[in-house]
């Protein structure tokens, strides 16, 4: 009897072990599949020339050519592209998060009859297809002579960002109103409450917004493509990467991949250093109120 029980226990344990390692190796396999294209991008960026990317079977770079990175930076004047991208990134970050803080506070802390309907309108603007406003916006910006300037890519941020406002409002509503009331008794006005009570508590969600805003503008493709097409000197990385194609008869894939790695590095750094901030934003966005 006893040995039987022990045996079945052992068997169950062994079965559990097998399942466990099966799960582990499946997860490892999936992680490898998703990561291989990215690794290939890095490997490609070190190949000695363009055609060595397409050997069959694939080869590791021999010799490894770090010079590709310098060549890539030189060929498309990458520093100026990075600079142009960063200007848009910081202008957008500052304006859209700043504006969103005020708007979110308004929606979170004022009890006004029409508040909910206005908030509903705000949420519906997230559903508005961007192509509907793209064409008329182009016409309007063209009228004021702003095509080929950075303004069309910066100015719309003054209204804040509907998604940011939504996240911030959710967060502010989680802060006890009693804190506000205590501050009011101490003679704080609304602005004082926002800056002294609410904002210090909002640090984690603002970190999330900084990550979102940074990644969004850094990677933006459509905006610069539409509005900066006539001004190469203002062009961002998204568009600048295509210069390899237009200036060479044969695509220098190894240089292009080096440029892509440089383009992706800040994103990877942001992801690893702000994992929690990023996850918080993604998860909150997945849970409706």
Partner 1 sequence: MKLNKTTRNRIGFYLFISPWIIGFLLFSILPMITSLYYSFTKITVLGLGRRAPEIIGFKNYIRIFTEDTIFLQSIKVTFVYALSRVILGIIIALLIAMLLNKKMMGKRIFRTLIYLPAIIPIVASAFLWRQLFSHDFSLLNYLLSFIGMPSINWLSYDNALTSIIIMSIWTGIGPTMIILIAALQNVPKELIEAAEIDGASIFAKFKMITIPMISSTLLYLFVTGFIGALQAYAEMDLLTSGGPGYVTTTMTMNVIQNAFSSDGSGMGYASAQAWIVFIIILIFTIIFFKLINKHVYYAGGEDK
Which residues inside 79-108 make contact with partner 1, applying CB under 8 A? Answer: 99, 102-103, 105-107
Least spacing, CB of residue 155 vs partner 1, in Å:
8
Asked if 243 interacts with partner 1 (CB under 8 A), we say no
The site string for partner 1 over 204-233 (x = CB under 8 A, - otherwise) reads -----------x--xx-xx--xx-------
Please report how close the Cβ of residue 4 comes to partner 1 at its closest, in angstroms.
21
Least distance from C-beta 87 to partner 1, angstroms?
17
**Are the C-beta atoms of 76 and 241 separated by less than 8 Å?**
yes
Classify 280 as helix, strand or coil. helix
Cβ-count burial 73-98 (b if 16+ within 10 Å, e if not):
bebbebeebbebbbbbbebbbebbbe
Buried b or exposed e, range 138-170, using 16+ CB within 10 angstroms = eeebeeeebbbbbebbbebbeebbbbbbbbbbb
End-to-end alpha-carbon separation of the chain, Å? 56
Residue given tokens 């363009």 in the structure block:
50
Q: Which of 154, 202, 228, 237 binds partner 1 (CB under 8 A)?
A: 237
Residue 159 DSSP symbol: G
Find, among 151, 155, 147, 157, the residue nearest to 226 by Cα.
147
User: Of 1 and 250, which has the nearer Cβ to partner 1?
Assistant: 250
Question: Which two tokens mark 139?
Answer: 């016409």
Query: Which of 6, 8, 133, 247 is in the footprint of partner 1 by CB under 8 A?
Result: 133
Task: Based on the shown chain and the rule CB under 8 A, indicate whether residue 178 belongs to the binding site for partner 1.
Answer: no
CB of 12 to partner 1, least distance (A): 13
* Binding mask of the shown chain, residues 147 to 166, with x at each position contacting partner 1 by CB under 8 A: ---------x-xxx----x-
48 touches partner 1 (CB under 8 A) = no
Report the nearest approach of partner 1 to the CB of residue 242 (Å). Answer: 8
Residue 187 touches partner 1, criterion: CB under 8 A: no
State in angstroms the smallest separation of the CB of 122 from partner 1: 6
Q: In this chain, which of 23, 74, 196, 203 binds partner 1, going by CB under 8 A?
A: 23
> Does residue 60 bind partner 1 (CB under 8 A)?
no
Q: Whole-angstrom Cα distance, residue 9 to residue 243?
A: 65
CA distances from 186 to 3, 108, 180, 181, 271 (A): 75, 21, 10, 9, 41
Least distance CB 170 / partner 1 (angstroms): 10
Which residue from 173, 186, 192, 273 is in contact with partner 1, where contact means CB under 8 A? 173
Residue 216 burial by Cβ neighbours in a 10 Å radius (0-12, 13-18, 19+) = middle
- Cβ proximity to partner 1: between 35 and 64 the closer is 35
Name the nearest CA neighbour of 266 among 236, 223, 246: 236
Tell me whether residue 128 or residue 182 sits nearer to partner 1 (CB atom). 128
Part in contact with partner 1 (CB under 8 A); list of ranges 7-15, 76-84, 109-117, 196-204: 109-117
């Amino acid at each position: 009897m006893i040995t039987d029980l022990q045996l079945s226990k052992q068997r169950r344990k062994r079965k559990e072990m097998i399942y466990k390692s099966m799960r582990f190796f499946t997860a490892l396999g999936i992680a490898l599949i998703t990561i291989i294209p990215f690794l290939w991008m890095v490997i490609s960026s070190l190949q000695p020339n363009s055609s060595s990317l397409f050997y069959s079977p694939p080869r590791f770079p021999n010799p490894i050519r770090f010079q590709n990175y310098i060549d890539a930076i030189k060929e498309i004047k990458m520093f100026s592209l990075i600079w142009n991208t960063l200007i848009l990134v910081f202008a957008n970050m500052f304006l859209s998060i700043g504006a969103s803080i005020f708007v979110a506070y308004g929606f979170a802390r004022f009890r006004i009859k029409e508040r909910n309907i206005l908030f509903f309108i705000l949420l519906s603007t997230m559903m508005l297809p961007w192509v509907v406003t793209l064409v008329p916006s182009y016409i309007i910006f063209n009228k004021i002579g702003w095509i080929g300037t950075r303004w069309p890519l910066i100015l719309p941020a003054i209204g804040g960002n509907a998604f940011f406002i939504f996240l911030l409002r959710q967060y502010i509503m989680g802060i006890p109103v009693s804190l506000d009331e205590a501050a009011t008794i101490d003679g704080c006005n609304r602005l004082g409450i926002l800056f002294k009570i609410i904002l210090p508590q909002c640090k984690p969600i603002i970190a999330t917004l900084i990550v979102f805003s940074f990644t969004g503008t850094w990677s933006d493709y459509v905006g610069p493509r539409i509005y900066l097409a006539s001004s190469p000197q203002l062009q961002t990385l998204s568009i600048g990467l295509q210069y390899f194609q237009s200036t060479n008869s044969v695509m220098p894939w190894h240089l292009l991949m080096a440029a892509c790695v440089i383009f992706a590095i800040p994103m990877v750094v942001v992801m690893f250093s702000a994992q929690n901030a990023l996850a918080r934003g993604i998860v909150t966005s997945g849970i409706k109120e």
